[in-house]
Amino acid sequence: MKKVKTLILRTAGTNCDYETQSAFELCGAVADRVHINTLIEKKNKIFEYDILVFPGGFSYGDDIASGKILSNEIKNKLGDEIKKYALSGRPIVGICNGFQVLVKIGLLPDPKFFKQIFTLSCNDSDKFECRWVYLKVEKKVRRESNCIWTKNLPDVISLPVAHGEGKFVSGNEKFLDNLNKNSQIVFRYSLKDGSEPEYPLVPNGSIGHVAGICNKKGNIFGLMPHPERYVFTLQHPAREGFNDRYGWGKVIFQNAVDFVI
């Protein structure tokens, strides 16, 4: 059986790379933490890997805005390689700060355009929000979405969030309609029964309660919650999970590994 190789991109301020590495290794993949400078020096190294991950943390201290410096560095120094990698159909995920990076690079909502058309801004509370939340996977998305990362998930799951800039916003009125039409909205914040929540279970004020989206092809996935922090059932305060041993984060990462195999 093929050994799936995962590249977890890190830089100054990245702090969720070890957890993400452990999650992919648990799913049977080989996972390497690779510094951005290594990738810049050997640009084609990225194509040695089957999966690309932009993990959470506070890249470059989130100076200017979350993920802004890293996204500019990637686009200016690795832009051609990143776009080619994305268009090849290989799985890519951006978690929290990594989601912010994907957005500002322009890999979401469509790597063909490769430009930023929406953002993740400061939470409505104007403070860092850290808690467990419920996420709804709408029936339309479960039925029609191409997202490879969310197969075998139920209507509602639970994951933890930890961010200060997670509010999904866009100045384009038709943007959200197009995401809905194309089944690209993967996760929305919800109550446990799937109904609409209020703060604090919508921790940031995102329009449409959006917590995660994918591209049309379904290989690129960005989300604010942290699946790498919930791969074992025991990590959940109420011991909820996929089964007695694993949490929903394990399912998400396993989906990508199985897709490559």
8 Å CB contact between 248 and 158:
yes
| φ, ψ for residue 134, nearest 5 deg | -100, 145
Name 3's Cβ contacts closer than 8 Å, sequence gap at least 6. Answer: 28, 29, 30
CA angle 155, 31, 7 (to 5 degrees): 85
Q: Is 28 left (phi over 0), alpha (psi -120 to 50) or beta?
A: left
β-partners of residue 52 are 7, 92
CB neighbour burial string for 24-58, b if at least 16 within 10 angstroms, e if fewer: bebbebebbbbebeebeeeeeebeebbbbbbbbbb
Within 10 angstroms of residue 154's Cβ, the number of other Cβ atoms is: 12
Helix (H, G, I), strand (E, B) or coil at 9: strand
For the question of residue 96 being annotated catalytic, the response is yes
Please indicate whether residue 165 is annotated as part of the active site. Answer: no
Interatomic CA distance for residues 185 and 69, integer angstroms: 26
Of the residues 96, 138, 209, 214, only one is catalytic, namely 96
Instruction: Tokens for 212, please give them.
Output: 């995660």
Catalytic residue among 16, 27, 129, 226: 226
Is 122 an active-site residue?
no
Q: Of 73, 147, 228, 236, which one is the catalytic site residue?
A: 228
Contact 170, 260 (CB under 8 A): no
Question: Which residues form the catalytic set?
Answer: 96, 226, 228
